Amino acid sequence: MGEFDDLGRNQFEEGDYYINEMGYRVFTSQYLLKRGYCCKNGCKHCPYGWDNKTQKFSKK
């Protein structure tokens, strides 16, 4: 039971992520919004406004 249960394991829709120059999967704000919560890990495209430096949500 995890965050991928609704989508099925490793099944993503177009636009949910891209592969960066180092070969890592980078989730987009589209996917992060569908997930429905902030993980507080400072995701590059976090639509929730989490700031790792202050450990608080920033006002967007």
State pTM to two decimals.
0.73
pLDDT of residue 13: 93
Strands 17-19 and 50-51: unpaired
- Per 3-state DSSP, the chain is made up of helix, strand and coil in percentages (nearest 5) of 10, 15, 70
pLDDT in tens, 21-58: 999 999 999 999 999 999 999 999 999 999 888 999 98
pLDDT of residue 45: 95
Residue in the block written with tokens 């987009």: 28
**How is the chain split into domains, by residue range?**
1-60
